[in-house]
């Protein structure tokens, strides 16, 4: 029989993060959401808990854990505040992991200790105005002049790129043409914050994730040392695809948490809200709706657990990650809609958690690969 129970170390982590989410994150979530303010104090405390270093080796300041531990933490944070959860997800999965996976020893020693401690954050510069799902259409370019990379171009929707503690953005750029294939050669380059010619543009006014930091970026002759190349030249596109596969497990975990948070709120409300002399949960129309919400959460959790298991076993997990991301993101959006319906007018008030989940959850079907991209990957795996 397959045992899906968490072992003691994982369960202890879940318990710690759940308590932190309820006691530290939840009380200030509505305030940061309303003010569109970045939760620096919460992020600092997450760093002290070691959450930013969960999958990073101890030699670089991390906890020496694994990616599943990160996913479990994201699920618990996602229940109460998606902005905080995505700050952790992007800070680790998109910020630190490219350096941890592909950086040389000098780059790891320079950047990872502060990233693993949550003292600094990093961004992942992939998406552009004309290159989203089709990242190979990138127009940002970089060339070597006098021992430096000179970068010109722009990026969009880059998380953690403009905070007071952002230390770098890893940028994908066209660095030439592959002579054997004739296709663009895409490389990744580390661009530290404050680099001349690198401008963090004003933050977006987003529908949701109001306490998450997201900016467009521009590069106008930005110069960094040639040794800031991350990994091998021309391997940037492959690197980012690998990072995105991992990230889809993380997003699925976050989305599962969001779906669970909506379920929690709906159950509590259905037990206490009275209508026609009885709790509304006695109404079969409401109770069946909540039962479907519970099934979505259950399915989503199993999906990301399965993807993480294959990843940790060193097996190909691309399709499992696509399944998990597809199922969990749709569950978060569907549960947010149903919870809002159950709450009625109260669900339409921005201060309520279900309203925040309703606004926040849509991006889960878009970021780190849209629903359509996941369907494409799954269809291809079936030979279609």
Catalytic residues: 368
Q: Which two tokens stand for residue 76?
A: 């618990």
Do the Cβ atoms of 221 and 150 come closer than 8 Å? Answer: yes
Residue 148 bridge partners (DSSP): 145, 225
Do the Cβ atoms of 193 and 183 come closer than 8 Å? Answer: no
CA distance linking residue 279 with residue 284, whole number of Å: 11
Cβ neighbours, 10 Å, residue 56: 26
Sequence-ordered list of residues with C-beta below 8 angstroms from that of 187, at least 6 positions apart, any chain? 142, 172, 173, 175, 229, 230, 232, 233, 234, 235, 236
CA distance linking residue 189 with residue 187, whole number of Å: 7
CA distance linking residue 253 with residue 274, whole number of Å: 33
SS3 of residue 75 by DSSP: helix
Count helices and strands in the chain by DSSP H and E runs: 12, 10
Q: Which two tokens stand for residue 227?
A: 């040794």
Q: Which two tokens stand for residue 304?
A: 């990301």
């Amino acid at each position: 029989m397959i045992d899906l129970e968490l072992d003691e170390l994982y369960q202890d982590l879940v318990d710690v993060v759940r308590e932190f989410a309820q006691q530290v994150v939840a009380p200030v979530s509505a305030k940061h959401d309303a003010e569109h303010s970045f939760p620096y104090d919460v992020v600092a405390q997450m760093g002290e808990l070691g959450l930013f270093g969960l999958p990073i080796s101890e030699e670089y300041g991390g906890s020496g854990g694994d990616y599943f531990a990160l996913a479990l933490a994201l699920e618990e944070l996602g229940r109460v505040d998606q902005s905080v959860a995505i700050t952790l997800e992007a800070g680790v999965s998109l910020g630190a992991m490219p350096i941890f996976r592909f950086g040389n020893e000098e780059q790891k020693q320079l950047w990872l200790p502060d990233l693993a401690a949550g003292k600094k954050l990093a961004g992942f510069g992939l998406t552009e105005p004309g290159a989203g799902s089709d990242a190979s259409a990138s127009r940002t370019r970089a060339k070597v002049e006098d021992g430096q990379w000179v970068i010109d171009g722009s990026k969009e929707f880059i998380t953690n790129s403009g905070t007071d503690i952002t230390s770098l953005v890893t940028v994908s750029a066209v660095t030439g043409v592959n002579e054997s294939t004739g296709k663009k050669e895409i490389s990744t380059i580390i661009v530290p914050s404050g680099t001349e010619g690198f401008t963090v543009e004003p933050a977006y006014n987003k529908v949701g994730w109001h306490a998450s930091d997201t900016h467009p970026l521009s590069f106008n002759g930005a110069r960094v040392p040639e040794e800031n190349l991350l990994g091998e030249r021309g391997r940037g596109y492959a690197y980012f695809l690998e990072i995105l596969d991992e990230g889809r497990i993380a997003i699925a975990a976050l989305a599962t948490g969001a779906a669970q948070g909506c379920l929690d709120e709906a159950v509590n409300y259905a037990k206490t809200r009275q209508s026609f002399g009885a709790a509304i949960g006695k109404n079969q129309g409401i109770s069946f709706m909540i039962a479907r919400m519970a099934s979505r959460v259950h399915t989503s959790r199993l999906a990301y657990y399965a993807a993480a298991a294959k990843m940790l076993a060193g097996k190909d997990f691309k399709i499992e990650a696509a399944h998990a991301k597809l199922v969990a993101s749709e569950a978060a959006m569907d549960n947010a809609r149903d919870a809002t319906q159950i709450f009625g007018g109260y669900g339409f008030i921005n201060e309520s958690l279900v309203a925040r989940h309703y606004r926040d959850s849509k991006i889960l079907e878009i970021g780190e690969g849209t629903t359509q991209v996941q369907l494409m990957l799954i269809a291809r795996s079936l030979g279609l």
